[in-house]
């Protein structure tokens, strides 16, 4: 229980039961003059319902790792891939496009990013963008009821009016909540969140993290929080992978990492956080208070 936050499913994953099981993943990118080993032999496991952090400085390979696994960034022209990434037993790296679409559409994985504006359609009302992402199947509620429920779950109010707006008519925090609603529309079992709050003001950051934490508990949804900010990891994650130069240099329980980092790199990252982000532990506490007993709320 890091920072006194109630945890669900906070057991360390093992290969046999992992929802996501990444084995010896390498992503080498060819640029004009050299080969970048963006991801260089990474093993990573996430159990069902677990919240895992991937932390490291900019350029350490976090986004390449997650985008590769989620099959959002594979350009065989300039990327060389090796290894495997099993989601629920199927290797996402070799899935045919149709199977991949099925996985995305229903109870697979979704992703949110630092920059929602870059991923939202500027010419379409946000409600419709969420509707287009809804999972198929039998549902008692109408599509617009489902869209409104998702907006509420993502922490928005006045949802009927919000659904009618275009992305540019919303604040950064609201846009990130729209991305969250779109991500939830397919009822994912795993959510990749790549620097989900980096572009937001500190207060809004905390509120969005609180929403993610509540969703993780309520939906028993596994999450991978990708961030350069150890404060975010401290507030949300059960376990952490520390990445540096394309490799995992340490993996540990969150508290364990903060108390006694084993790698010099992780120790330096913690030191840096303490130095520049004196509020990191306080943010963890604030989040714990804000979310205490809120597992069934909203
Ligand atoms: N499209 C690309 N072409 C060439 N190099 C890239 C590309 N994307 C990322 N890289 C390089 O791969 C490494 C890892 O980048 P990235 O995965 O974005 O790291 P992080 O998300 O941790 O900041 C960096 O050295 C980066 O410059
Ligand atoms: Mg990144």
Three-state secondary structure of the chain: CHHHCCCCCCCCCCCCCCCEEEEEEEEEEECCCCEEEEEEEEEEEECCCCEEEEECCCCCCHHHHHHHHCCCCCCCCCEEEEEEEEECCEECCCCCHHHHHHHHHCCCEEEECCCHHHCCCCCCCHHHHHHCCCCCCCCCCCHHHHHHHHHHHCCCCCHHHHHCCCHHHCCHHHHHHHHHHHHHHCCCCEEEEECCCCCCCHHHHHHHHHHHHHHHHHHCCEEEEEECCHHHHHHHCCEEEEEECCEEEEEEEHHHHHHCCCCHHHHHHHHHHHHHCCCHHHHHHHHHHHHCCCCCCC
Task: Give me the CATH topology for the region 44-78+95-108+188-289.
Answer: Rossmann fold (3.40.50)
How far does residue 195's CA lie from ligand 1's centre (Å)?
A: 14
Q: Which ligand is nearest to the CA of 54?
A: 1
The ligand 1 atom at the shortest distance from the C-alpha of residue 73 is 1
Give ranges for CATH 3.40.50.300 in the chain.
Answer: 44-78+95-108+188-289
Residue nearest to ligand 1 atom 27, measured at CA: 59
Please list every protein residue whose CB sits less than 6 Å from any atom of ligand 1.
Answer: 29, 31, 36, 38, 56, 58-64
pLDDT band at 215 (very low <50, low <70, confident <90, very high): very high
- pTM confidence score: 0.87
pLDDT band at 9 (very low <50, low <70, confident <90, very high): very low
Residue from 26, 36, 249 to probe ligand 1 pocket by mutation (most atoms less than 8 Å from CB): 36
| Model confidence at 284: pLDDT above 90 | no
Given the structure tokens 């090796």, which residue do they identify? Answer: 82
Residue nearest to ligand 1 atom 16, measured at CA: 61
The ligand 1 atom at the shortest distance from the C-alpha of residue 60 is 22
Each residue's pLDDT tens digit, 43-76? 999 999 999 999 999 999 999 999 999 988 756 6
Greatest mean pLDDT range, 131-140, 191-200, 228-237: 191-200
Q: Which ligand is nearest to the CA of 74?
A: 1
Residue from 26, 28, 29 to probe ligand 1 pocket by mutation (most atoms less than 8 Å from CB): 29
The ligand 1 atom at the shortest distance from the C-alpha of residue 65 is 17
How far does residue 96's CA lie from ligand 2's centre (Å)?
A: 26
- End-to-end Cα spacing for the chain: 23
Q: Mean pLDDT for the chain?
A: 86
For residue 221, the model assigns a pLDDT of 96
User: 10 Å Cβ neighbour count for 105?
Assistant: 16
Quote the radius of gyration of the chain (alpha carbons, Å). 19
| pLDDT average, residue stretch 128-136 | 92
| pLDDT average, residue stretch 187-195 | 95
Each residue's pLDDT tens digit, 247-273? 999 999 999 999 899 999 999 988 887
């Amino acid at each position: 229980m890091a920072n006194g936050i109630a945890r669900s499913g906070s057991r360390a994953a093992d290969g046999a039961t992992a929802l996501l099981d990444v084995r010896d993943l390498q992503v080498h990118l060819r640029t004009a003059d050299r080969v970048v080993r963006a991801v260089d032999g990474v093993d990573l496991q996430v159990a069902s319902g677990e919240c895992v952090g991937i932390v490291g400085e900019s350029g350490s390979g976090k986004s390449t790792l997650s985008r590769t696994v989620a099959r959002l960034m594979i350009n065989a022209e300039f990327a060389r891939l090796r290894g495997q990434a099993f989601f629920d037993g199927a290797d996402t790296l070799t899935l045919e496009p149709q199977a991949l679409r099925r996985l995305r559409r229903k109870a697979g994985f979704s992703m949110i990013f630092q920059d929602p504006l870059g991923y939202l359609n500027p010419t379409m009302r946000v409600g419709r963008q969420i509707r287009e992402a809804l999972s198929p199947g039998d549902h008692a509620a109408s599509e617009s009821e489902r869209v409104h429920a998702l907006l509420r779950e993502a922490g928005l109010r006045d949802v009927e009016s919000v659904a009618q707006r275009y992305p540019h008519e919303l604040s950064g925090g609201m846009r990130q909540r729209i991305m969250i609603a779109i991500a939830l529309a397919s009822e994912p079992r795993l959510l990749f969140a790549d620097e989900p709050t980096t572009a937001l003001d500190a207060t809004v950051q905390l509120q969005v993290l609180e929403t993610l934490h509540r969703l993780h508990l309520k939906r028993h949804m596994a999450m991978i929080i990708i961030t350069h900010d150890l404060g975010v990891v401290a507030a949300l994650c059960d376990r952490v992978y520390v990445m540096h130069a394309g490799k995992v240099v340490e993996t540990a329980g969150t508290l364990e990492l903060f108390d006694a980092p084993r790698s010099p790199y992780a120790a330096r990252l913690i030191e840096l956080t303490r130095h520049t982000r004196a509020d990191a532990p306080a943010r963890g506490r604030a989040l714990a208070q804000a979310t205490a007993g809120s597992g069934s709320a909203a």
